[in-house]
Amino acid sequence: MNNKLTLGIFGFGVVGQGLHDIIKTKNLNLAIKRFVIKHPEKKRSLPAELFTTDANAVLEDSEINTVVELIDDADAAFAIVSKALRSGKNVVSANKKMIANHLEELVDIQHRHGTSLLYEGAVCGSIPIIRNLEEYYDNELLHSVTGIFNGSSNYILSKIFNENLAYATALKQAQDLGFAETDPSLDVGGFDAKFKLAIVASHAYGLYVSPDAILNIGIDALETPDIQFAREKNFKIKLVPTAREISDEAVILYVLPKLVAPDNILYAVENENNGVLVKAAFADEQFFYGKGAGGHPTGSAVLSDIAALRYGYKYEYKKHIEAGALTYSTDWEITVYLRYDEETLIEKLGFAAISERYYAHDYKYVIGRINIGNILANRDVINRKGVFIAEIA
């Protein structure tokens, strides 16, 4: 049955405006009653009576049966979403940080109050990866889910490798286009990708893992020697989150820059696009590709969730019911390239083996095998100027 939805929308920024642009072109069984905004002094493209700064004008309005949450503040978003779900309203959210940090509690609230929270727009923009993990792969054994989850960092890396732009110039372009925030640390530091990875892992493997427990190293320490090394070896650098089942009992999760070769499918994913590679026991390899940043791509994913709510759709979280034996682990070795400044760092990181070393006056690197847990334990000394680490695919 196609139920009519009356929407209250929190936020009218890039995604909120993109969503409105799409909705007004469609003849859908829904109506927008109110937008809740933070800055009433800003000029808006819609009539003033549609806007309010009072959250309760939406949350306590009995006519509004669906809340759409599109704000930046994760703490405020959680308060909004949890209150809406408890009051019997269904919710669509694109706030990956809020969802990743509170997913287990939000699932419990949904079950207790019979409401539905959908969040396709929180992960990989226009790519419908959450719905596919929930529906298509619900009975699959997934070997891994990996790819490019952050359009902002991928745009920056594409400009560096394809157009020889300096890092700072590429970052400024991404900000000017609305792909990166004024404070880009969430994107270039790998935090945005980590939040998305935690959500993906929940739907792929039935695990609730705190983002704080997941290794994330970004591209913000990337320097000219690293770019030259990659080019000499015919690699490109991509920021890649990885979820992988390493045994019948354990799953690893981490976000690292990765040196990818031309035969890697991620090599050709450029600009603000995302690409998700799923390796499964029976379906084998499947690749999802699409826009990962921008108001219209994310807005289209949000609208897809809104449309699904018209028919009573809910995530069933089936993998959680069957995931009893799986645990999260950081005990796994990978091969890395490490540019470093102090010899003590090599000993501190505890390389299991080193296959290549290079010394120059202003540039030193090693290639070797290292345990993810060792990187995680020492991420504070890695996340600094003078050090850059990347996995070698």
Residue from 170, 321, 150 nearest 239 by CA? 150
Residue 380, strand partner residues:
none
359/187 Cα distance (integer angstroms): 31
316, amino acid identity: E
Q: Contact, 157 vs 219, CB < 8 A?
A: yes
Residue 339, strand partner residues:
365, 388
According to DSSP, residue 294 is labeled S
Q: Contact, 152 vs 238, CB < 8 A?
A: no
In sign, the C-alpha dihedral spanning 75, 78, 315, 321 is: positive
Q: How many CB atoms within 10 Å of residue 236?
A: 23
Catalytic (active site) residue 196: yes
Q: Which of 89, 97, 196, 291 is catalytic?
A: 196
As given in the structure block, the two tokens for residue 270 are 């450029």
According to DSSP, residue 120 is labeled G
Q: Contact, 57 vs 70, CB < 8 A?
A: no
According to DSSP, residue 26 is labeled S
Residue from 232, 225, 224, 237 nearest 267 by CA? 237
Maximal C-alpha separation, the chain: 70
Total residues found in the chain within this entry: 393
53/368 Cα distance (integer angstroms): 54
As given in the structure block, the two tokens for residue 196 are 């998305």
Mind telling me the catalytic residues? Answer: 196
